[in-house]
Amino acid sequence: MERKVNQKAWFLVLPVVLIVCFSALIPLMTVVNYAFQDTFGGNEFFWAGLVWFEDILNSSRFHDALWRQFLFSGLILLIEIPLGVVVALSMPRRGLGVPICLVLMALPLLIPWNVVGTIWQIFGRVDIGLLGWAVNSLGISYNYTTDPLSAWVTVVLMDVWHWTSLVVLLAYAGLRSIPEAYYQAARIDGASRWAVFRHIQLPKIRRVLVIAILLRFMDSFMIYTEPFVVTGGGPGSATSFLSVDLVKIAIGQFDLGRAAAMSIIYFLIILALSWVFYTVMTAKRRDDMEVGQ
Amino acid sequence: MARIELKNLAHSYLDRPRDEADYALKEMTHVWEDGGAYALLGPSGCGKTTLLNIISGLLVPTQGQVLFDGRDMTREPPEARNIAQVFQFPVIYDSMSVYDNLAFPLRNRKFQATEVDRRVREVAEMLDLTDRLKRRAENLTADMKQKISLGRGLVRPDVNAILFDEPLTVIDPHMKWLLRGQLKQLHKDFNHTMVYVTHDQTEALTFADKVVVMYEGEVVQIGTPEELFEKPAHTFVGYFIGSPGMNVLDCRLEGRQAWLGEHKLDLLAGHHVPAALGDKVQLGIRPEFVTVTRPEEGLPARLERVDDVGRYRIARLTLNDQAVAAILPEGSELPSDTAGVRFEPSHLHVYMDGHLSEGGA
């Protein structure tokens, strides 16, 4: 039978190609364009090669921002993941409590980023904010505009308040999908509460936790709005995370080449780390692996 | 090992049960002898699993008591009852090896490591799992997983009773026979009290010394397989057990005579006819005891068809608009369309509202 070549199918993928071009490819290429060239305005470009990249990779300012970023993401993962699981475990499994808890949990997620920032900005103020005023009247010195530690505590606390719910909801969904028979079997086998968590609940919610960790990592690594609203990256540059710093370079200093190079490095770091997280956490364990005994 | 007593036990899943119909388990009082092998037989949704979960302590009954060797255990949790239970679908601990899965119930009860090892290897040997002991349990097939569940039920040497909730549902038929035989053997060797829930009569009859037949939340009969066959206490037992099931015919009683339409049957002295008849009077006779004759030799019936099921043939007849099945002896001559049926009187039972009418009842 003669094979008929039909190229019309290409037209069917055309819409997708166009959307991807306009939403991802063209903007990205614009950034690449700036990263390898220099411009003084007027649409005139000069080839710069790897100059901007070398510049960024050697700047201590970038290193500092990067470490701050890692510290921030690490901290919020360490707090939000266990906390989210604990909250999910203690949520009711049936009855009127379920919808009430779910709505309460969903509320922080529905608030826009800049509003969250504003809430905490006021909440933490030492003069009129409940938190700032209360902490200070307890004799603890707290002021996020002058003290780096206070600023960090505020930003981390704000993120925990805003995003732990996401982990809770994911973990709760995972827990709900465990058949009742597992708990019954565990009771028959005389398993302790800890053993039930360790051997039934945790393995069963492992997959959703992977997703939770990935989402929280990527999101926190790109955090911008909240710290910008609350601390503006300060005091000094104490809370200048990568995005905050990037915007300062791009818009504050109008240093487009350096900002573009930094964007690309930033993007590659997130991509690489997400890939590492994902591979490590979903790695299929070797079947013949010798465990326990 | 223990003697299990159920006293006035009843259970409803509702908070405030109003009438009979709200109860998943109707009031019952029974004794399960120490070391007995019982099968709980009944259709889906008749309360078998509910009863099992009450015995193991997963459920607290709405009323009544559960006694182990005379001790009230009604409100004790499963951990305190020292009971093993195997569920219908495999429950395994994914993150553990097969070995650790089997050792789990023993380790939770602080058994000596050497004892744990000995028991795990014994059970693994019995279930043919020895060469997989070190593998992770997660990626095994469903029937392999169910064997692990089964193993966890069998691994503890000192249990009061082992409860099986349709444990062989996911196992393929060939393996089913093998495992059932092994369970039976295990019962002979260790004499644990065993309760085996199933809706498969063959499974129940081969496994158990005593079969407990349940129907709509009630225990309708407890008996040996022979008793269930010979003298079904309820029309449900009659047609649930046996293949084909018992013939149940509506009739009218006048004195010691039963009328099927205009046809008359004399009852034997052994048949009990209560003074007050029930709303529904029925005769029951197993197809094994129905003989197909020439029209003039029995009650006139019409032969509808003959089913050949391999080992024997079943004649399907209608007698006075009611269906009657008869098992034909091998090599017997097929009667023509119009035939007669004869019931063996000693195997004929009278039922009042479904229940066997017996002297003194």
- Under the banding of pLDDT at 50, 70 and 90, the label for residue B308 is confident
Is it the case that residue B269 has pLDDT exceeding 90? no
Is it the case that residue A88 has pLDDT exceeding 90? yes
- Render pLDDT for B217-242 as a digit per residue (tens, 0 to 9): 888 888 888 888 888 988 989 888 88
Interface test with A, best of B49, B95, B158 (most A CBs within 10 A): B95
The partner residue sitting opposite B93, judged by closest CB among A188, A192, A200, is: A200
Q: How far apart are CA A271 and CA A233, in angstroms?
A: 24
DSSP one-letter string for A54-74: HHHHH-HHHHHHHHHHHHHHH
Q: What's the pLDDT at B1?
A: 66
Is it the case that residue A285 has pLDDT exceeding 80? no
Q: Are B339 and B286 in contact (CB under 8 A)?
A: no
Cβ B108–A190 below 8 Å, yes or no? Answer: yes
Cβ B104–A200 below 8 Å, yes or no? Answer: no
Q: How far apart are CA B252 and CA B267, in angstroms?
A: 12
- Render pLDDT for B22-45 as a digit per residue (tens, 0 to 9): 888 888 888 888 888 898 888 888
Is it the case that residue A293 has pLDDT exceeding 60? no
Q: What's the pLDDT at B63?
A: 87
> 3-state DSSP call for residue A7?
coil
What mean pLDDT do residues A183-203 have?
Answer: 90
- Render pLDDT for A215-268 as a digit per residue (tens, 0 to 9): 999 889 988 888 888 888 878 888 888 888 888 888 888 888 888 899 999 999
Same domain, residue pair A170 and A66 = yes
Is it the case that residue B78 has pLDDT exceeding 50? yes
**For residue A99, is it within any domain?**
yes
- Render pLDDT for B110-130 as a digit per residue (tens, 0 to 9): 888 898 999 899 888 888 888
Tokens representing B299?
């009650």
Cβ B108–A192 below 8 Å, yes or no? Answer: yes
Tokens representing B360?
């003194």
Q: End-to-end distance of chain B based on CA atoms, in angstroms?
A: 34
- Under the banding of pLDDT at 50, 70 and 90, the label for residue A168 is very high
Is it the case that residue B337 has pLDDT exceeding 80? no
**For residue A86, is it within any domain?**
yes
> 3-state DSSP call for residue B57?
coil
Closest CA of chain A from B25, distance in Å: 20
What mean pLDDT do residues A269-281 have?
Answer: 85
Is it the case that residue A122 has pLDDT exceeding 80? yes
- Render pLDDT for B241-266 as a digit per residue (tens, 0 to 9): 888 889 988 888 887 788 887 787 87
- Under the banding of pLDDT at 50, 70 and 90, the label for residue A287 is very low
For residue A20, give its domain range.
16-49
Is it the case that residue A162 has pLDDT exceeding 90? yes
Q: Is the Cα torsion angle A101, A103, A106, A111 positive or negative in sign?
A: negative
Same domain, residue pair A68 and A156 = yes
**For residue A246, is it within any domain?**
yes
What mean pLDDT do residues A20-35 have?
Answer: 89
Is it the case that residue A82 has pLDDT exceeding 90? yes
* ipTM of predicted complex: 0.78
**For residue A189, is it within any domain?**
no
Contact partners, residue B53, CB within 8 Å, separation at least 6: A184, B59
* Alpha helices, DSSP H, located in chain B: 48-56, 78-81, 98-108, 113-126, 142-154, 173-190, 201-207, 225-230, 235-240
Which residues of B fall within a CB distance of 8 Å from A288? Answer: 134-135
- Render pLDDT for A45-72 as a digit per residue (tens, 0 to 9): 888 888 888 888 888 888 898 999 999 9
The distance between the two most distant Cα atoms of chain B, rounded to a whole number of Å, is 77
Return the residue of B nearest to A199 by Cα: B93
Q: How many CB atoms neighbour CB B174 within 10 A?
A: 8
What is the overall mean pLDDT for chain B?
Answer: 85
Which residues of B fall within a CB distance of 8 Å from A192? Answer: 108
A203 contact B CB<8A: yes
Cβ B100–A292 below 8 Å, yes or no? Answer: yes
The partner residue sitting opposite A293, judged by closest CB among B89, B91, B99, is: B99
Q: What's the pLDDT at A265?
A: 92
Q: What's the pLDDT at A174?
A: 93
Q: What's the pLDDT at B33?
A: 86
Q: Are A258 and A56 in contact (CB under 8 A)?
A: yes
Is it the case that residue B335 has pLDDT exceeding 70? no
What mean pLDDT do residues A186-214 have?
Answer: 89
**For residue A269, is it within any domain?**
yes
Q: What's the pLDDT at A173?
A: 93
Cβ A185–B100 below 8 Å, yes or no? Answer: no
Q: How far apart are CA B40 and CA B51, in angstroms?
A: 9
Q: How many CB atoms neighbour CB B131 within 10 A?
A: 9
Same domain, residue pair A108 and A173 = yes
Interface test with B, best of A177, A182, A188 (most B CBs within 10 A): A188
Same domain, residue pair A105 and A249 = yes
Q: How far apart are CA B323 and CA B307, in angstroms?
A: 14
Which residues of B fall within a CB distance of 8 Å from A289? Answer: 136
> 3-state DSSP call for residue B168?
coil
Higher pLDDT, A142 or A76: A76
Same domain, residue pair A69 and A124 = yes
CATH number at residue A214: 1.10.3720.10
Same domain, residue pair A33 and A110 = no
- Under the banding of pLDDT at 50, 70 and 90, the label for residue A165 is very high
**For residue A148, is it within any domain?**
yes
Same domain, residue pair A32 and A154 = no
Same domain, residue pair A218 and A115 = yes
- Render pLDDT for A8-17 as a digit per residue (tens, 0 to 9): 888 899 999 9
For chain B, domains (ranges, CATH) are 4-235 (3.40.50.300), 245-356 (2.40.50.140)
Cβ A191–B56 below 8 Å, yes or no? Answer: no
Same domain, residue pair A225 and A107 = yes
Percent of chain A with pLDDT over 90: 37
Q: What's the pLDDT at A71?
A: 94
Strand-pairing partners, residue B6, are: B30, B66
**For residue A215, is it within any domain?**
yes
Q: Long-range contact list for A71-77, CB < 8 A, 24+ apart?
A: A72/A155, A72/A156, A72/A159, A72/A220, A72/A223, A72/A241, A73/A217, A73/A220, A73/A221, A75/A156, A76/A156, A76/A159, A76/A160, A76/A163, A76/A216, A76/A220, A77/A213, A77/A216, A77/A217, A77/A220
**For residue A132, is it within any domain?**
yes
Same domain, residue pair A76 and A20 = no
Same domain, residue pair A34 and A86 = no
> 3-state DSSP call for residue A236?
coil
Same domain, residue pair A104 and A161 = yes
Q: What's the pLDDT at A106?
A: 92
Q: What's the pLDDT at A284?
A: 59
Q: How far apart are CA B285 and CA A281, in angstroms?
A: 65
Task: Return residues 22-61 of A near B (CB < 8 Å).
Answer: none
Q: Are B246 and B239 in contact (CB under 8 A)?
A: yes
- Render pLDDT for B176-190 as a digit per residue (tens, 0 to 9): 888 888 888 888 887
**Residue B261, phi then psi, degrees to nearest 5:** 60, -125
Q: Are B350 and B281 in contact (CB under 8 A)?
A: yes
The residue behind tokens 């009430």 is A100
The count of structural domains within chain A is 2
B294-314 in b/e burial notation, b at 16+ Cβ within 10 A? ebeebbebebeeeeeeeeebb
